[in-house]
Structure 1
Amino acid sequence: MTDLNEIVDELRDFYLRAHRAIDRAMKMDGVSLARAKLLKFIAAEGSARSADIGTAFGFSPRTVTEAIDALERDGLVQRTPDPTDRRAKRLSITPAGEAALAASEPARQKFVTNVFGILSEQEQQALFKALRKMNDRLEEIDAD
């Protein structure tokens, strides 16, 4: 039987390596993984408030503001007044943001195929089930 700590170490190493590799690949063609996540969220919402982003990603208000400022500075999102709350701003993705997101997607897909494609269909199913089971357990722990 494998030591559980060895599994944790392998999972951590995989996560860190995978995150660096996919981020590097996506940046070369469009936007970083972090920026892509934010842009996808904003695009899916149609428009979003900073508070929505903070809640969805578990970010502090300062982190959200810095990220949105950078996206806006680069022309990837725009802020407009919120029609229901004069203190708030709504964020929407710009055509440049959509283009950058689209440009990075092939690199993300290639990464996913290259890394997870080495697993057989059965291994992919087993990995998915194991990860789903562990994520469900984490939700239970968080709820306690």
Structure 2
Amino acid sequence: MKSHFEVSEKLFELYHRVHKLINESMTEEGVSLARSKFLFFLSKLGPCRSTDIADALSFAPRTVTEAIDGLERDKLVERKPDPADRRAKIVSITQTGRQVLEAAETPRKQVLEEIFSALDDQQLDQLQSIVNSLVRKADDIRLRREDEKKH
């Protein structure tokens, strides 16, 4: 019987392989997976400060600033003064950014469809149930640790 560690190592291996395949496919369409995270966030949330992006994506502020610099240089996002705070800038996705994000979404979905086609419907249902259980357990552990830090 496999240990928890062995199974978790296989899950990490799968994650990294899928991540690499998706990143390669999306990059061919003009935006890496990392850059698409920023664009996706801005397309869903709307214009916001870079600090909001850093908080939401759990990135260091400097990382976000550097990413936004590159996205702005490529005309995928734009910065405008924040009317509520003249020291801050509001970042928003441009029409070009939306188009690039949309174009990159197709190969991402194709890669995932191809990978998960290895499973039949019953296996997919089982996998979803298993993943949901693991997500709940991870959330429980995170909440417990946050609670322990408070006390």
Counterpart in 2 of 1:62? 62
1:114 aligns with 2:114: yes
Q: Map 1:1-144 onto structure 2 (within 5 A).
A: 1-144=1-144
The whole-number CA distance in structure 2 between the counterparts of 1:109 and 1:124 is 16
CA distance in 1: counterparts of 2:48 and 2:124, whole angstroms: 34
* Aligned positions, number: 144
How far off its partner does 1:30 sit? 2.6
Provide Cα deviations, 1:86-137, integer angstroms capped at 9, x if missing partner.
2211111111111111111110110110011221111111111111111111
Aligned-pair CA distance for 1:44: 0.8
1:44-99 alpha-carbon deviations (Å, 9 max, x no partner): 11212111111111101111111111111111000011122222111111111111
Q: In structure 2, what is the Cα distance between the partners aligned to 1:85 and 1:117?
A: 50
Query: Structure 2 stretches of 5 or more lacking a match?
Result: 145-151
Moved >3 Å (runs of 4+): none
Alpha-carbon RMSD across the aligned residues, in angstroms, is: 1.1
Compute the displacement of 1:23 (Å).
0.0
Q: AA paired with 2:95? A: P
Q: Which SS does the other structure have where 2:79 is aligned? A: strand
Structure 1: which 5+ runs fail to align? none
What percentage of residue pairs aligned between the two structures are identical? 42
The SS at the match of 2:19 is: helix
**Normalising by structure 2, what TM-score?**
0.91
- Whether the aligned pair in 2 keeps the contact of 1:30 and 1:102 (CA below 8 Å) is no
Q: What secondary structure does 1:59 align onto? A: coil
Measure the CA separation in 2 of the matches of 1:128 and 1:34: 25
Letter in 2 for 1:101: L
CA-CA distance at 1:21 after TM superposition: 0.8
Residue 2 of structure 1 aligns to a residue whose secondary structure is coil
TM-score by length of 1: 0.95
